[in-house]
Each structure stands twice: as C-alpha cells, then as structure tokens.
Structure 1
Amino acid sequence: MINQISAPLQVQAPLQNTQPQASAGKTGFGDMLKHAITDLNTSQVQSANMTQALAEGKNVELQDVMIAAEKASVTLMSAVEFRNKAVEAYQEIMRMQM
C-alpha cells in the first residue's frame, strides 16, 4: 500500500514576541523533526520486517517488499540531505563575522 505524500512544509514568518507561546494546532520545529525521525525509523523497520518475512518464505508479495525497501531508501536519503544542509547552514553561520 502506498501512502499519500504529504504537502511540502510551509515556512512561517517569525513571531514578533520571542516568548514561547502554546497554541493549539501549531507544531514547532522540534516536533516536526521528531515526527520525521519517527517516520524514518518506521519505514526502515517495516522494510526490514518485510525483507525478513520474504527470506523466511512467508506469504509476502515481492513487489510489496521492493516498494517498502525503496520507500525506506528514499526516506533515508532525504534525511541525510536534510542533515547535510543543516550542517552546511550551521558552518556558514559560524563563518560570519560579528
């Protein structure tokens, strides 16, 4: 089963007030990152479980195993690219002169 691709992230303007505000329905960057890492882990575990089931001869369709493996691969590559861009941005900020 292929899950629907979620809409791209939308960047919001920074808040005028620097105090943390608890508002219903809004998620922070940390929550979004945690959710993304959880999804990454879930796809990796699902791929591993399906591959193991196929290797054990259980009733698993090969195309489902391949789709799960490719989904896990794409998710991992996306996470690595996100990390690379975050490190690059951090290094750029550190090079700035004050």
Structure 2
Amino acid sequence: MAIHNIHSIEASQFSPSIKKNLVKPSEAQISFSNFLKKSIEEVNNAQIQSDVMTKKLVNGEDIDLHQVMITSQKAGITLQATMEVRNKVVEAYQEVMRMQV
C-alpha cells in the first residue's frame, strides 16, 4: 500500500495570520540562546547573593540567620533545577542522535 500525493507544505500556502506567527530557525535559535543565557545569569546571581549573605554572617555583620538560610536554600534549589533541566536536554539530544534517518 503506497502513499501518494504527499507534498511538502510551503510557508506560502499558509494564511496571512499563520505566516506572521512563523519564526525563522535563526530567530528561534537566538531567542532560545538569550533565554538560556538569562536563566544561567539568574542562577549565578542567586549563588552570588547567597555567598555575600554568608560572608556578612561570618564577618559578624547585622544580618539575620534565617535570611542567610533562606537565600542559601533558594540558590541551592535554583541550581538543582537548572541541573535537572540540563540533564533532560542532554537526554533529549542523545535520543535525537540515536534516531535513524
């Protein structure tokens, strides 16, 4: 049983409302890259803030212990979540690479 008359869909076949929602691969790559960069910077800032608060506590500055612990836990959780996302992305990449063309 053969399948006939299957044609590739060109962007010109879409209605104007669908055409404007199409994103070029290069634009998607830049957008995704910016998203990843921003996310990693946020994780880094959380780690830096945790380090600063810990140093303040160690130096005897007027800072509450519970604030230091909360900041430390937030930094740890964001780092853990980032690592889990990275692991899932690596797994997805490996699955795609195992696909037979």
Tell me which interval the TM-score lies in, with the shorter structure as reference length: 0.7 to 0.9
Which protein has the larger Cα radius of gyration, Structure 1 or Structure 2?
2
- Name the Cα RMSD after superposition: 1.8
Aligned twin of 1:92: 95
| Residue 67 of structure 1: aligned partner | 70
Partner Cα distance (1:18, 1:54) in 2? 50
Percent identity between the aligned chains?
43
Please say if 1:18 is aligned against 2:24: yes
Partner of 2:58: 55
TM-score by length of 2: 0.72
Q: What is the CA–CA distance in structure 2 between the aligned matches of 1:28 and 1:36, rounded to whole Å?
A: 12
Higher helix share: 2
2:69 maps to a residue whose letter is M
- Number of residue pairs the alignment of both structures matches: 79
Q: Which runs of 5+ in 2 are unaligned?
A: 1-20
Runs of 4+ in structure 1 off by over 4 angstroms are none
**Which aligned pairs between 1:20-35 and structure 2 lie closer than 5 A?**
20=26, 28-35=31-38
Cα offset, 1:16, TM superposition: 3.8
